[in-house]
Amino acid sequence: MSRKFFVGGNWKCNGTIEEVKKIVTTLNEAEVPSEDDVEVVVSPPFVFLPVVKTILRSDFSVAAQNCWARKGGAFTGEVSADMLINLGIPWVILGHSERRLLLNESNEFVGDKVSYALAQGLKVIACVGETLEQRESGSTMAVVAAQTKAIAERVSNWSNIVLAYEPVWAIGTGKVATPSQAQEVHFNLRKWLQDNAGAEVALSTRIIYGGSVNGANCRELAAQPDVDGFLVGGASLKPEFIDIIKSATVKKSA
C-alpha cells in the first residue's frame, strides 16, 4: 500500500496578520508536487485560522494546534473540536511535546483528545517522542510505545490519524535525528502498530518525522522507507518550507 507523503507546518505561537499573509502568499505562489503525491497541512495560531483558511490555496489544508478533550462548556481559554468543525478546519495537532512538557498533558489526556476529535470528524496529527534523558537511558521505544498505546486504547479506526514522531531533544535545538535514528524509531513504531492495531493499520498509517527538519536535511530523511513525511516547526515559517514539500519527489522516484 502506497502512503501519500505528508508535510505539516506547525507555526506555533508566531506571527502577526501581516506576517501570516506573507507566508501564505509564498505558499500560494510555490510550485510543488501535485496533491496526488504530497498532502500539505499548515497550522497557524488559533486567531489566524479563519484568514489562513480563506486565502490559502485549495490544495493545501489547515490544522489547529490543539483542541479540548470533550464538548465545549465552562472551559475558559479552550477551543472545542466542534468549533473547529464549525469553522471548516479539517485537521488538528494533538499531543505535541511542548504541551506534554510545559502544560503537563498526560498520555491519557492526549488519548482522550484524539478520541474526541476523531469522533467529531477531525483528522489528527498525533505526536509522540522522547526527551534526551529518555533516549540516553535507552527507553525511547518504551516511551513512544506508551504514548501510542494511550491513543490505540481509545480509537479503533486509524484512517484519519497521522502519527508524528518528534524527539524532544531535536525540536528547536538545531539537533536532528540522523536518518538511521529516525528510521529505526519509525520502523519500530510501525511494528508496534502491527502487533497492537493490526497489519492494515501498520501498513497504511503515515508516520512522519519532526525535529529541526530543514531544506538541507529533508531529502535524506525522506528517503528512509518508514518516514512518510514531516511535521516542520521553525522552517515552516520560511521559504525553505517549499524545499521540504518538494522532498516528496524522493519517495516518488524511490
The answer to whether residue 166 is catalytic is yes
pLDDT digits (tens, 9 = 90+) for 34-54: 999 999 999 999 999 999 999
Q: Is residue 64 very low, low, confident or very high in pLDDT (cuts 50, 70, 90)?
A: very high
Cβ(178)–Cβ(167) under 8 Å? no
Determine which one of 98, 130, 166, 186 is catalytic.
166
Q: What is the pLDDT of residues 154-192, one digit of tens each?
A: 999 999 999 999 999 888 888 888 999 999 999 999 999
What pLDDT is recorded for position 175?
80
* 132 vs 129: CA distance, rounded Å: 10
Looking at per-residue pLDDT, the higher value among 167 and 252 belongs to 167
- Alpha helices (H) in the chain, listed in sequence order: 17-29, 49-55, 81-87, 97-102, 107-120, 132-136, 140-152, 179-197, 199-204, 218-222, 241-246, 248-253
How does the average pLDDT of the chain come out, rounded? Answer: 96
Distance CA 32, CA 24 (A): 14
For the segment 114-124, the average pLDDT, to the nearest whole number, is 98
How many domains does the chain fold into? 1
Mean pLDDT of 221-237: 97
> Distance between CA atoms of 74 and 139, rounded to whole angstroms?
38
The whole-number pLDDT of residue 188 equals 98
Determine the Cα–Cα distance for residues 39 and 31; give it in Å rounded to an integer.
14
Q: What is the CATH number of the domain that holds 174?
A: 3.20.20.70
Instruction: Specify the 3-state DSSP secondary structure of 119.
Output: helix
C-alpha radius of gyration, the chain, whole number: 17
Q: Which of 111, 215, 124, 99 is nearest to 154 (CA)?
A: 111
Answer yes or no: are the C-beta atoms of 223 and 198 closer than 8 Å: no
pLDDT bucket at 251, cuts 50 / 70 / 90: confident
Q: Are 42 and 27 in contact (CB under 8 A)?
A: yes
Indicate the pTM of the whole model.
0.97
Average pLDDT, stretch 13-40? Answer: 97
Q: Name the residue with cell 501564505.
A: 24
Q: In terms of pLDDT, which residue wins out, 2 or 116?
A: 116
Of the listed 96, 98, 130, 186, which one is catalytic? Answer: 96
The count of other CB atoms within 10 Å of the CB of residue 187 is: 15
Is position 186 annotated as part of the catalytic site?
no
Quote the domain boundaries for residue 81: 5-253
pLDDT of 1 reads 54
Q: Sign of the CA dihedral 64, 66, 71, 72?
A: negative
